[in-house]
Amino acid sequence: MSTSKKPLKPKDFPVSAEGKKIKKQDGTPIATTEDSPIADEVAERLNEDEARREQDRWSA
């Protein structure tokens, strides 16, 4: 999987998978995977992780 060197910010979420590419909310590609199911899985996990982080931030 190729990746972007810049860290994701809260405004980049939710990310989405389009084919083998994972894209930020504004459509900018952030990663390319070997196949579509992997891209879907990675995007889902990134979104879940960010949602959990946001929830933790508000509950603290």
Is residue 22 in a domain?
Answer: yes
Is residue 43 in a domain?
Answer: yes
The total of structural domains in the chain comes to 1
Is the separation of the CB atoms in 16 and 23 below 8 Å? yes
pLDDT for res 30: 94
Is residue 42 in a domain?
Answer: yes
Is residue 28 in a domain?
Answer: yes
Identify the residue whose tokens are 């933790």: 56
Is residue 58 in a domain?
Answer: no
Is residue 37 in a domain?
Answer: yes
Amino acid at 7: P
Would you write out the chain's pLDDT as a tens digit for each of its 60 residues?
A: 555 578 899 999 999 999 999 999 999 999 999 999 999 999 999 999 999 999 998 886
Quick one: tokens of 55?
């929830």
Helix, strand, coil distribution of the chain in percent, nearest 5: 45, 20, 35
Q: Cα dihedral angle (11, 17, 21, 26), rounded to 10 degrees? A: -30
pLDDT for res 6: 80
Structural domain that includes position 25: 7-47
Is residue 30 in a domain?
Answer: yes
Q: Read off the pTM.
A: 0.84
pLDDT for res 4: 56
